[in-house]
Amino acid sequence: MKLEIGNFQVKDIQFGSELSYKDGILTINKEEALKMVREDERITEAELYIAKPGDKIRLCPVKEAIEPRVRLDGKGLFPGYTSPLRQSGEGVLHALKNCSVLVVGRHWGGFQDGLIDMSGPGQKLTYFGGLNNIVLVADTNEEFEKREQQKKNDALRRAGHKLAEFIGQCVKDLTPESKDVYETTPITKRSVEINKLPSVVAVLQPQSQMEALGYNDLIYGWDMNKYLPTLMSPQEVLDGALISGSFMPCSSKWSTYDFQNFPILRRLMEEDGKDYNFLGVIMSNLNVAMDQKERVIQMLVQQATELGADFALVTEEGYGNPDADYVGAIAALETAGIKVVGVANECTGRDGGSQPLVTLDEKIVAMVSTGNVSELIELPPMETVLGELEALGRDGNSGGWEGDEILGPSVRPDGSIIMEDNGLFCGDMIVGWSTKTLKDF
């Protein structure tokens, strides 16, 4: 399989009379874009904004992030979801880099929604604080879930995916500024030299714990709660096969933008054939009941063993109950003789003194921590809020609260906030963006 991504580096975004890209400037016709968004009858309010690094803007509640792209063969970006099924991971697409489409709720938030700051001390706490962002702020008529702590956010998330595809059209016929080419050879057809290298497999555990449909990550439009571990090409992940869900504390989330750019997978592909033989991705899932967890772990270990993996990199989306799937997978792989590096955040409490994962095993010997989800964060007011800041405390955001006997409310009268890391949009950057450093005292 061969996937070619042509890159266009967005230096600035502006509104204008037509959708275009020239000399690093992305121009968007706001009314045309909003007209497309409002084609969904569930959308009752919609407005577009631009949020760039350094702007004194706070976004909350953020629900999704997507990289604008277009495929040159005319097929849709997200097969089985916003367009008919196709094979992901091959062909040519163009991508607007250094920018994203962010979807923000106009009135209501929930457990799964997050916060982004475009400047100040909070800017560095999310990857998206450093990007040029097209921000869709919208509301829907989905009355059944407005006051629910857990929301599907279906209309808003779909609007974001369609908007990203709409914007990406402007670079379809242009010559890329650079290209990333990913090409894999079938495992049994690789050279003798490559097969002599240590072999590694990536085990990904996207969020899929909700039995009710509509909350979990999707793979080719299929709800991953109904999924079983399967070998995939890493290119499929980068090419729209996976869609982010709407369930879990937000700092642990993998947005669709994260799937499209997954740094860990890109690095493994870049080094493939040099230091090791990258066998591919065992795409797994996360479950609630122990028998379900054990069944999935057994299947992924069997696949890794049959592939002949010497090493595995395992990472989970979420924490808490999913830690049992995550730790169980690592321990079982180690028992099978496959050496593992795990990547995950931890929940050590506000004082940092609690057990980092819900369950632990002595077989876990190599871990990369992306931070403590319970760490307290204080941020000053911002001049502009896109969305509704009150959602941080009022609507069950996993990092905020309405009131605390000692700390008071998350959202203070002057617009400053105190919250847990939990509520930062994809803030733990588990896919590999993280720049955090661990220090011993």
Q: How far apart are CA 237 and CA 218, in angstroms?
A: 11
**Token pair belonging to 40:** 């969904």
pTM value is 0.97
Could you report the per-residue pLDDT of 97-128, keeping only the tens digit for each? 999 999 999 999 999 999 999 999 999 999 99
H or E segment and range at residue 9? strand 2-9
Q: What angle, rounded to 10 degrees, do the helices at 30-37 and 154-168 form? A: 140
**Token pair belonging to 102:** 């962010």
The whole-number pLDDT of residue 435 equals: 78
Could you report the per-residue pLDDT of 288-318, keeping only the tens digit for each? 999 999 999 999 999 999 999 999 999 999 9
Amino acid at site 215: Y
3-state SS string for 122-141:
HHHHCHHHHCEEEEEEEEEC
Could you report the per-residue pLDDT of 200-252, keeping only the tens digit for each? 999 999 999 999 999 999 999 999 999 999 999 999 999 999 999 998 889 99
- Note whether 187 and 307 are within 8 A (CB): yes
Rg (CA), the chain: 21
| Domain boundary assignment for the chain | 2-423
Average pLDDT score over the chain: 96
- Note whether 166 and 36 are within 8 A (CB): yes
Could you report the per-residue pLDDT of 390-437, keeping only the tens digit for each? 999 999 899 999 999 999 999 999 999 999 999 999 999 999 998 777
